[in-house]
């Protein structure tokens, strides 16, 4: 899979750690301002220092300011710092982390998050399962209030809507990781996930989660993994006129029974775009439909099955 061109500095040689078993987990930390990432890095250090087995830290640094990295190299035993040469979207950075990580278990997060608790000895019960896809954390605000991020779903007239909940339990199914902080199974990418180049982060994460489910992997929230989120809660995804919302639904909701009613909404949407001379959006939709017809892949899990699994534990 294509990854952005990057340069690298590190404090160890990866040739000595060429086997996936060398690291129990890789932490991929993405930042565009390293000087304001101290809280996040401190929380990563506290987590890594408590772990008996080796943990790799990858920092994808989008900041163009030059830093003295000696403190980071002396603090973390196994750290690699990547510098993408050109501006890259979230999908590119995500693929870079997937491709370069030396563990099958990868913790992704950015500077908006700080780790409160991450008990890998307990989480290993789930990480070792072949069906493990993604583990999402319990998210806490800076006011120490729970931010609901267990995502449930419904599909009406061929379009998906989501709603966030907080359900107490050991592990609760979630449609996708609503926030860019989660542990993912690298082995899921041996399957054909074929993620789209979304500009909006929420649709990238939604498609990532949805396709993880479609390929037979599981996404759960566990309260043994807890983080602080430094921004406001994100809104849920509901029916709207965003082009990327239509693209997601066309690419992913493929069950004929659940697609009923979509054609009329799509026709109105396309006509509106033509009236306002937005030919690029119409061409995007046309190309996506053509690619789907040409490269039709039947996933192991159907949309209706995902709907049932995701919503089964709603109180």
Q: What is the CATH number of the domain that holds 1?
A: 3.40.50
Average pLDDT over residues 182-196: 89
Let me know: does 29 contact 40? Beta carbons within 8 Å.
yes
Structural domain boundaries enclosing 149? 132-174+187-315
Same domain, 137 and 169: yes
Q: Is 122 inside any structural domain?
A: no
Same domain, 249 and 309: yes
Same domain, 265 and 306: yes
Q: Is 90 inside any structural domain?
A: yes
Between CA 8 and CA 83 the distance in angstroms is: 6
Closest C-alpha among 200, 293, 197 to residue 240: 200
| Domain final residue pick, 57, 77, 111 | 111
Between CA 178 and CA 112 the distance in angstroms is: 13
Let me know: does 83 contact 7? Beta carbons within 8 Å.
yes
Let me know: does 180 contact 201? Beta carbons within 8 Å.
yes
* pLDDT score, position 20: 47
* pLDDT score, position 120: 85
Least confident window among 103-112, 174-183, 250-259: 250-259
Same domain, 89 and 203: no
- 197-231 pLDDT tens trace: 999 999 999 999 999 999 999 999 999 999 999 99
Q: Is 230 inside any structural domain?
A: yes
Between CA 117 and CA 227 the distance in angstroms is: 7
Instruction: Identify which of 23-27, 76-80, 175-179, 185-189 has the greatest average pLDDT.
Output: 175-179
pLDDT band at 84, cuts 50/70/90?
A: very high
Between CA 51 and CA 125 the distance in angstroms is: 16
User: CB burial class (10 A; 0-12, 13-18, 19+) of residue 159?
Assistant: buried
Same domain, 41 and 139: no
Same domain, 204 and 283: yes
Written as one string, the DSSP assignment of 61-120 is: E---S----HHHHHH-SSEEEEEESS---HHHHHHHHHHH-SSSEEEEEETTEEEEEE-H
Q: Is 121 inside any structural domain?
A: no
Q: Please tell me the total count of domains within the chain.
A: 2
Same domain, 201 and 305: yes
Rg (alpha carbons) of the chain, rounded to whole number: 20
Same domain, 303 and 168: yes
Q: Is 120 inside any structural domain?
A: no
Beta carbons within 8 Å of 181's beta carbon, 6+ residues apart: 108, 109, 110, 112, 113, 136, 137, 139, 227, 229
Same domain, 98 and 158: no
Q: Is 279 inside any structural domain?
A: yes
Q: Is 310 inside any structural domain?
A: yes
Same domain, 243 and 301: yes
Between CA 183 and CA 47 the distance in angstroms is: 14
- 269-292 pLDDT tens trace: 888 888 878 888 888 888 888 887
How crowded is the C-beta side of 193, counted as CA atoms within 13 Å? 26
Same domain, 91 and 138: no
Q: Is 213 inside any structural domain?
A: yes
Same domain, 10 and 94: yes
- 102-119 pLDDT tens trace: 999 999 999 999 999 998
Closest C-alpha among 284, 288, 304 to residue 296: 288
Tell me the C-alpha to C-alpha distance, in Å, between residue 12 and each of 34, 80, 289: 21, 8, 47
Let me know: does 2 contact 77? Beta carbons within 8 Å.
no
Query: Global pTM?
Result: 0.93
Between CA 244 and CA 101 the distance in angstroms is: 29
Closest C-alpha among 25, 29, 48 to residue 37: 29
């Amino acid at each position: 899979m294509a990854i952005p061109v990057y340069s690298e500095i590190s404090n160890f040689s990866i040739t000595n750690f060429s086997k996936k078993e060398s690291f129990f987990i890789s932490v991929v930390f993405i930042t565009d301002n390293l000087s304001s990432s101290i809280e996040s890095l401190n929380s990563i250090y506290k987590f890594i220092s408590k772990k008996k087995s080796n943990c790799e830290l990858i920092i994808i640094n989008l900041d163009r300011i030059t830093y003295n990295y000696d403190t980071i190299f002396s603090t973390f035993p196994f750290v690699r710092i990547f510098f993408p040469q050109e501006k890259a979207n979230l999908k590119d950075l995500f693929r870079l982390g997937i491709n370069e990580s030396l563990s099958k278990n990868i913790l992704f997060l950015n500077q908006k998050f700080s780790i409160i608790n991450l008990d890998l000895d307990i989480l290993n019960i789930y990480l070792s399962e072949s069906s493990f896809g993604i583990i999402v954390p319990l998210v806490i605000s800076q006011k120490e209030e729970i931010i609901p991020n267990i995502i449930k779903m419904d599909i009406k007239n061929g379009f998906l809507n989501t709603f966030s909940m907080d359900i107490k339990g050991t592990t609760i199914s979630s449609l996708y990781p609503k926030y860019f902080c989660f542990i993912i199974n690298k082995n899921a990418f041996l399957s054909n996930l074929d993620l789209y180049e979304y500009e909006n982060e929420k649709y990238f994460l939604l498609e990532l989660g949805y396709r993880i489910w479609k390929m037979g992997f599981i996404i759960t929230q566990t309260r043994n993994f807890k983080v602080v989120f430094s921004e406001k809660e994100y809104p849920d995804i509901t029916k709207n006129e965003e082009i990327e919302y239509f693209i997601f639904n066309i690419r992913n909701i493929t069950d004929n029974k659940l697609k009923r009613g979509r054609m009329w909404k799509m026709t109105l949407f396309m006509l509106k775009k033509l009236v306002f001379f937005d030919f690029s959006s119409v061409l995007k939709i046309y190309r996506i439909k053509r690619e789907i017809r040409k490269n039709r892949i039947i996933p192991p899990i159907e949309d209706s099955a995902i709907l049932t699994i995701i919503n089964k534990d709603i109180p």
